[in-house]
Amino acid sequence: MAHSGSAIRVATWNLEWATQGTANWPTIKNQLASVDADVVVLTEMTVGTAEKWPYVIDAGTHPDICVGDKRKVAIASKLPLRLVDDDVGNPDLPPSNFVAVDVQVSEAQSLRVIGIVVRWAERRRYIEHLPAALDANLGPKTIVAGDFNHQHPATSGLALELEDTLKSRGLSIHTAGTHLQLGDERGLIDHIASTSDLRVVGPAIVWPRHDPNYRNGTKEVTDHAGSAVDFVI
């Protein structure tokens, strides 16, 4: 879906550190081309995997988490981007796991996109300090997307805390629930949420971890399913 007027497609996918040289890259590249997102939040990505988009802003490197070309989260776009959070969330969050940008949709309109990674090894710390990072960066027409590392809707535990954090700030998760596209795979954990001033068009687009064109479907393309949502601004 190429950007058209006030319609925009936002996607997210955890690439499990794939590079342009790994065996799964052609399948990843084809999937990303097929989804044709205007903006994509890529998590556990490497720099070259975002070259399809002319504009990219990432959360930077960290010696304990990601070095070299590795990035925990990056936002890539067909439309111009502007970094809005020089602190990359807040200092209490696990480093390099949060990035906020403005997407220049037109001369008169921008869209705030926040990319997050609820790093599994530090998920309690992340979820405890995410509210402050969101409060410093939320605005009208905001999308929060990335690796939530939990299935939604949630009923208890940290997943419910994360969900309540979003809900209390006027954010709805549009990728929550079951998805027939995933078959017997685990439920989706890469999600897209937004404020209520953005209207969703149609159901979420979801693709599974396995692809019949990659090793005959016997091996995961990455260890995460991906998702995309169409919005009217």
Predicted confidence at residue 177, as pLDDT, reads 97
* CA separation, residue 144 to residues 7, 59, 96 (Å): 17, 15, 16
Q: Is the pLDDT of residue 1 over 70?
A: no
Whole-structure pTM value = 0.96
> Is pLDDT at 210 greater than 90 in this prediction?
yes
Give the model confidence (pLDDT) of 40-91 as tens digits: 999 999 999 999 999 999 999 989 889 999 999 999 999 999 999 877 677 8
State the average pLDDT over residues 207-218. 96
pLDDT at 30 exceeding the cut of 60: yes
d(CA 210, CA 20): 19
pLDDT digits (tens, 9 = 90+) for 96-108: 999 999 999 999 9
Hey, where are the domains in the chain?
7-232
pLDDT at 5 over 70: no
CATH of 7-232, one of 3.40.50.1400, 3.60.10.10, 3.30.300.20, 1.10.30.50: 3.60.10.10
Q: Give the Cα separation of 117 and 128 in Å (integer).
A: 13
Closest-CA residue to 114 (of 78, 85, 154, 71): 85
Work out whether the CA dihedral 166, 167, 168, 171 comes out positive or negative: positive
pLDDT at 213 over 70: yes
Tell me, what's the pLDDT at 6?
Answer: 76
Angle between helices 123-135 and 157-167 (to 10 degrees): 0
